[in-house]
Chain A
Amino acid sequence: MMDLNKKLEHYRINRQEYSKIKELLGREPEGLEWALFSALWSEHCSYKSSRVHLKKFYNKNSRVLEAFGENAGVIDLGQGERVAFKMESHNHPSFIEPYQGAATGVGGILRDIFTMGARPVALANYLCFGEPEAERMPHLVEGVVGGISGYGNCVGVPNITGQTEFDKSYNGNILVNAFALGLFEKGEKIFNSKARGVGNFVVYVGAKTGKDGVHGASMASESFDDDSESKRPNVQVGDPFYEKLLIESCIEVMAQDLVVAIQDMGAAGLTSSSFEMASKGGVGLKLRLDRVPARDSSITPEEILLSESQERMLLICEPQNYKALLDIFKKWNLDAEVIGEVISEKQVQLYWKDELLTQLDPDLLVENAPQYERSYLPWTKEHKDESWTKGLPSVPSVTEKLMSVLKDVRGTSREWIFRQYDQRVGARTARDCSDSVGVIVLPQTQRALGIVLGHRPYITQWDAAEGAKDAILYPALELSAKGFLPMAVTDCLNYGNPEKSEIMSEFVAAVENISAACKALDTPVISGNVSFYNETQGQNIISTPATGVVGLKEDIKNIPRDCFVKASSQIYLLRLPQLHISGQTALQQKRNVTGHGKIEVNACAQFVKQVREMSQLPGVEATKVCGKLGLAYTLSRMCTTKLGFRAEKGLFLGEEESNAHWFTENLYEVIFVLEKDSAENFAKSWANLRNSESTDKLWRMGEVTEGEVSFSGEAHINVEQLLTAYNEGWRQNFESLA
C-alpha cells in the first residue's frame, strides 16, 4: 500500500486538490479514480491556471461558428465555405525525442481538425530553438524538422508557412507549435463531440492501444529537471500512414452521416475523450475496457485509460448504422470495435470483463476541475526598459553590418527547413514558405485563403503587453499587405511556471492585449492551447504567445509579390510610428533590447485596413512588411530575383541621421514597390485613402536596380554577394547538418 504522500506525488495531485476530490466524492478516491483525476485535472487537460483568463478573449462575431467548445474553432467564409483551424504545442515531447515529438504534434493537430469533419488542407509551424552552439541543438533542429516533414508529407497535407526563432532562452526548452487548417466545402456538415442517444454504440477506431505515452498529459504539466532523459518512454510514436487512412475513412463516414459524435484520443487518451464526450452530451457511457484493442495482453485498465497511443478515434453511432460504418473502415483496412454504449444515467462506468471497476459522474472530472486564480500583477509601463532614446550607435560599415546580419542565425534563410516540407500536395498552394504569407486557393469559389504565424519573442522580452499586441498586428499587417482581410485567430501560449507571479503577470498581460488587438481588428480568437511549465532547472523561456492569423481575399489575382519584379520600379516606404526598438540587431550584438513608444491598437487596425486597400492599387508589384533586423535586411530579402535596389535615407530621414537607422526596427513600416508609371498616382491615392487623423507617412525611398545594392551611396554590394550571405548563413551556423 502506497502511503498518501507517495500517492499524491505519483499522481501529481496536490493537497488542496486532494481535499477537493474527497469533497466531490464524499469519500476517499479509490483505485482507478486516482489515475482519472490525475489526468483530467492536469494543467494540460484542465487549463486550471489559465481558464479564468482565457474567458476574456474576444471570441465572437457573426463569422464565428465554433469557438473553444470543440476540438477546433470554425469560421464561415460565406458562399458555403467554412474553415476549422487551431494551433497546439508539443514542446516537452519534442525536447525529449525531437523526431517523434514533432511528428506526433502534427498528427495530433490534424486529428483536431478532421474530427470536426473538415478535410485538413494546410499545416504551418512555429518553432523556437536555442543557440546553434547549445548542447544537442543541431540534433533537435534536425529531429524536429525531420519529424514534421516525415509526418506531414506522408499524410499529404502541405506545410505552407511558418516561423523559426533562435534564442538562448530556448536552449533547454525548445518550442514546437503546430498549426492546421481544414476546409468544409459547400454542404459538408460540422461535427461535434457531444455523446448522445441512449443505446448508441461507442466505437473505437484506429491504432491499437499500447503502453506509450501513459501519463503524458501530466508530464507536460511540470517543469524539466535533470531527469528529462528518463521520460523518453513517455513519448509516443506516430504512424502517418495510419493517420492518412483515418482521415479518409472518418471523412467518408461523416459524409455519409453515420456518426452522431466524434472525438480524437489526444492527451490523456481514452480518459479525456470518453469523459469529455459524456460531460458535453450530458449523458453517461458504459465502457468495456477489455474490448479496447490492445497491442499487448499485459496492459492494465489504468494503462488503457491513460495511454496516449497515436492515431485513435472514439465515435458514437446509432446501432443500425454500425454495419455501414464498419464496411467503410474495412475498406480503408482499419479495425473498429464497439467498446460500450450511451446510457441515460450520467455516469461513466468502467468495466473490465464483467466487473465494474469504477463509475463516476463525468462532470466531476471535466466541469469541476480546479480553476486557479494564480497571483499576478497588472501590467504597467515600469515593466519596460525605455532607457533607449538615442538609437543604435552608428555602424562603421553598412556593408559589413548587413552581411553579418544576413549570415546570422536570426537572419539567414530558412530554406534548409522548408525545402524538407511538401508545400504543394493538394494542388491548392498559391504561395509557399518562401513568401511572407502562405496562400491556398479554395477550389469551389477560387478565392484565396492566407495564413501567417506570428509573435516576435524579443518584443515580448522587452514588454509583454506590446509583444502580445504585435503578435496579432504584425501577421494581420502581413496579410493586408497582400490584399487579405484578416478573419480570425488561433494561439498557442507558451509560458514558464504559472505558480510564479512574474510569469503569470506576463501571461495575463498577453491575454488581455491579444484580445484588445483582436477586438480592434474584429478578428476573434477561435481556438488555441496553453503550454505552461516551459522551464528547465528554474530557467524560464521568454514568454511566447505564438499566433496564427487567417485571412481571406475574394480573388487570387493581384497578390503583390514578396520580391522585386523589374528594374527601375519605385520603392516607397509607408510608416505608422508606434514603437521604435533596437530589436534583433541589438541581440545580434549581444545587447539587451531597448526602445520606446506604445502600440495603439485602434490606430493600427485602421492602418491594416488602409494597407490592404493600398496593396490593391494599380501598379503595385511587391509589398513587404518591415520586420526583424530593420529596413536594410527587409529590402535585401526582396532581392531573390537577383534585382538590387538603391535606397536613399535622405528621402525619408534626413542625411544627417545615423546609418544605424537601416538596422533598427520601427513598428510599423510597409514597403511598396510600384511600377514606374503608376508611382505618382499611387502617392495621390494614398492621400485619399488615409484617415485624416492618422499619423502615417509615405515616402519614396529609392528604386529597383539591375543588381547593384546601395544605401545612400554608402554601400555598394553586388546582389549575388548578398544572396550568398543570406543562403549560406544556415550552413555556417549548423555545419553538422547535411
Chain B
Amino acid sequence: MSKKVGILRFLGTNCDQDVWRAVENVELQPEWLWYQDHFSESDYCAFVLPGGFSYGDYLRCGAMAAKMPVMKSLSEAVNKGKPVLGICNGFQILCESGLLPGALIRNHNRHFIDEWVDLDLVSANKYWAGELNECSIPIAHGEGRYYVNEDELKKMEDNGQIWWRYRHNPNGSVSNIAGVMNHKKNVAALMPHPERAMFDWMGSQNGRIFFESLLR
C-alpha cells in the first residue's frame, strides 16, 4: 500500500507545513497537491486538507477553495472511498464543497478563539484517530460554530456521523459538535488541530494518533 499522503494547498492555507511535519513524524510520506492541479487518487493512501485562511476567508470561509480544480480530483478520490481528513479551514472547505453536511459559522462570541479543548469521541472513524476515546487538542478559529438543522442532525446521529463533541462548548456549535463524517465515513473533519498536539512540549501528544492510525 502507498504511504503517500496528499496535502492540499490553496492560496492562504497556513497550516500546510505543520501537517507536512506531522505526517512525516509518523513515517508516512507527505506530498503537496497544488490547488490548480489534478491528481490521480491511486497514488495516495489518504488526503489532508489543512487549516488556514484560504483566499483570506473572503466571501465565506472555504467557499473559494471549494471551487478550485484540485477539488474535482478530491471528489473522485472520495467516491472511490479514499480517506480524507479536514482540519479547521479544511473542514470549512469540505462543507462548502458538499463533501460533508452542515456549515461552519461565526463563533457565538464573535471573536477568534485560541484554546485547548477536551473532546469526547462519539463514533469512531477507522482511518483517523481510531479507538482514541477522548483527547485534549487546541482550537484556533473565528468561524467554527457547526450548524445543521434538526432533521439533518437526527439523520447524522442515527447514521453515526458525529465524530467528536466538545466537553465544554467553546463556540456555540450545535449539539457541541467538534467533528463530523460523511455518510460513508471516509471523509472526516474537525475544527481542533491534531497537528498542534504531536509532542509533550506542545502540551499534549494526543494529536499523533490521528495520523498514526492510517498505518494500521
Q: Do A and B come from one complex?
A: yes
Interface residues of A (CB under 8 A from B): 149-150, 153-156, 239-242, 244-245, 332-333, 418-427, 429-430, 441, 443, 556, 738
Contact A420 B112 (CB under 8 A): yes
Residues of B86-115 contacting chain A, CB below 8 A:
109-115
Contact with A along B129-143 (1 / 0, CB 8 A): 000000000101010
User: What are the 5 closest A-B residue pairs judged by CB atoms, nearest first?
Assistant: A156-B14, A241-B56, A427-B18, A154-B53, A422-B140
**B209 → A minimal CB distance (Å):** 16
Point out the residues of chain A lying under 8 angstroms from B193, CB to CB. Answer: 424
Kindly list chain B residues whose C-beta atoms are within 8 Å of the C-beta of A424.
114, 138, 140, 193, 196, 202
Known: A153-B140, A427-B18. A333 touches B11 (CB 8 A): yes
Q: Does B198 contact A (CB under 8 A)?
A: yes
With CB as the reference atom, state the residue of chain A lying closest to B19: A427
Q: How far is the CA of A698 from the CA of B198 in the complex (A)?
A: 39
A427 pairs with B113, CB closer than 8 A: no
- Identify which of A244, A426, A738 contacts B53 (C-beta below 8 A): A244
- B109's nearest neighbour on chain A, judged by CB, is A738
Cβ contact within 8 Å between B12 and A244: yes
How many residues belonging to B are interface residues under a CB distance threshold of 8 Å?
A: 31
Nearest B-chain residue to A154, judged by Cβ: B53
* Cβ distance B192 to chain A, nearest Cβ, rounded Å: 11
B70 CB within 8 Å of chain A: no
A155 CA to B11 CA, complexed, in Å: 11
CB distance B21 to A427 under 8 Å?
Answer: yes
A332 contact set on B, CB distance < 8 A: 11
Contacts of A155 in B (CB 8 A): 14
B205 → chain A closest CB, angstroms: 13
Question: If A154-B53, A244-B14, A245-B11 touch, does A441 touch B110 (CB 8 Å cutoff)?
Answer: no
- Which one, A419, A426, A427, contacts B114 given CB within 8 A? A419
Q: How far is the CA of A245 from the CA of B112 in the complex (A)?
A: 22
CA distance A332 to B113 in the complex (A): 29
Which residues in A have their C-beta under 8 angstroms from that of B53?
Answer: 153-154, 156, 240-241, 244
Instruction: Tell me how far the C-beta of B110 lies from the nearest C-beta in chain A, rounded to whole angstroms.
Output: 6
- Other than the known A154-B56, A241-B11, A426-B17, what 11 A-B pairs have Cβ atoms closer than 8 Å? A153-B112, A244-B56, A245-B11, A332-B11, A419-B111, A419-B114, A425-B51, A426-B18, A430-B201, A556-B201, A738-B109
User: Do A430 and B18 touch (CB < 8 A)?
Assistant: no
Residues of A within 8 Å of B58, CB to CB, are 241
Closest CB-CB distance, A728 to chain B, in whole Å? 15
A149 to B142, CA, bound (A): 10
Query: Which of A240, A423, A425, A430 gathers the greatest number of chain B CB atoms within 10 Å?
Result: A425
User: When the two chains form their complex, are residues A241 and B55 in contact, meaning their CB atoms are under 8 A apart?
Assistant: yes
- Give the chain A neighbours of B195 by CB distance below 8 A: 427
**Chain A residues closer than 8 Å to B138, beta-carbon distance:** 424
B57 on the A face (CB < 8 A): yes
Taking CB atoms, residues of chain B closer than 8 Å to A441 are 201
* Residues of A with C-beta under 8 A to B51: 425
Q: Say how far A255's CB is from chain B's closest CB, in angstroms.
A: 14
B62-93 CB mask vs A (1 if < 8 Å, else 0) is 00000000000000000000000000000000
- What is the distance, in angstroms, from B77's C-beta to the closest C-beta of chain A? 24
List 15 A-B pairs, Cβ < 8 Å: A153-B112, A154-B56, A154-B57, A156-B52, A241-B12, A241-B57, A244-B53, A419-B111, A420-B112, A422-B140, A424-B193, A426-B18, A427-B18, A427-B202, A738-B111
Q: Quick check: is B214 within 8 A (CB to CB) of the other chain?
A: no
Q: B210 → chain A, closest Cβ, in Å? A: 13
A630 to B109 Cα, complex, angstroms: 34
Q: Is B162 an interface residue (CB 8 A)?
A: no
Neighbour of A239 across the interface among B18, B22, B56, CB < 8 A: B56
CB distance from A417 to the nearest CB of B (A): 10
Contacts of A738 in B (CB 8 A): 109-111
Q: Is the CB of A427 within 8 A of B196?
A: yes
Q: Say if the beta carbon of B33 comes within 8 Å of chain A.
A: no
Contact A419 B15, beta carbon cutoff 8 Å: no
Interchain nearest-CB distance for A159 vs B (Å): 9
Q: Which of A419, A421, A423, A424 has the most chain B CB atoms inside 10 A of its CB?
A: A424
Distance A421 CA – B12 CA, assembled complex (angstroms): 17
A171 to chain B, nearest CB (A): 25
Is A421 a contact of B201 with CB atoms below 8 Å? no
Please tell me if the beta carbons of B11 and A419 are within 8 angstroms of each other in the complex.
Answer: no
For A420, what are the chain B residues with a Cβ–Cβ distance below 8 Å?
111-114
Contact B140 A427 (CB under 8 A): no
- Please tell me if the beta carbons of A422 and B56 are within 8 angstroms of each other in the complex: no
* Residues B201 and A425 in contact, CB atoms below 8 Å apart: no
Q: Interface centre among A150, A240, A333, A422, by most B CB within 10 Å?
A: A422
Nearest B residue to A433 via CB reads B114
* Best-surrounded residue of B17, B112, B115, B193 (most CB of chain A within 10 A): B112
Which single residue of chain A is at the shortest CB-CB distance from B58? A241
Cα of A241 to Cα of B193 in the assembled complex, Å: 21
B112 engages A149 (CB within 8 Å): yes
- Min CB distance A240 to B, Å, is 7
Given contacts A424-B140, A441-B201, A154 and B12 within 8 Å (CB-CB): yes
Bound complex: CA of A430 vs CA of B11, how far in Å?
27
A241–B113 Cα gap in the complex (Å)?
Answer: 19
Which single residue of chain B is at the shortest CB-CB distance from A426?
A: B18
Smallest beta-carbon distance B164→chain A, Å: 18
Q: Which residues of A contact B196 (CB under 8 A)?
A: 424, 427, 429
Chain A neighbourhood of B142, CB < 8 A? 153
- Quick check: B201 and A423 within 8 Å, CB to CB? no
What's the least CB distance linking B201 to chain A, in Å?
Answer: 5
Find the residue from B12, B21, B138 having the highest chain A CB count within 10 A.
B12
Contact A425 B21, CB 8 Å, known A153-B53, A418-B114, A419-B113? no
Across the interface, which residues of A come within 8 angstroms of B21, CB to CB? 427, 443
**A156, A240, A242, A332: which has the most chain B beta carbons within 10 Å?**
A156
A410 to B140, CA, bound (A): 27
Shortest distance between the CB of A556 and any CB in chain B (Å) = 5
Query: How far is A738 from B172 in the complex, measured between Cα atoms in Å?
Result: 14
Complex-state Cα separation, A239 to B58, whole angstroms: 11
Q: How far does the Cβ of A330 sit from chain B's closest Cβ, in whole Å?
A: 11
Q: How far is it, in angstroms, between the C-alpha of A333 and the C-alpha of B9 when the chains are bound?
A: 14
Q: What residues on A are CB-neighbors of B198 within 8 Å?
A: 427
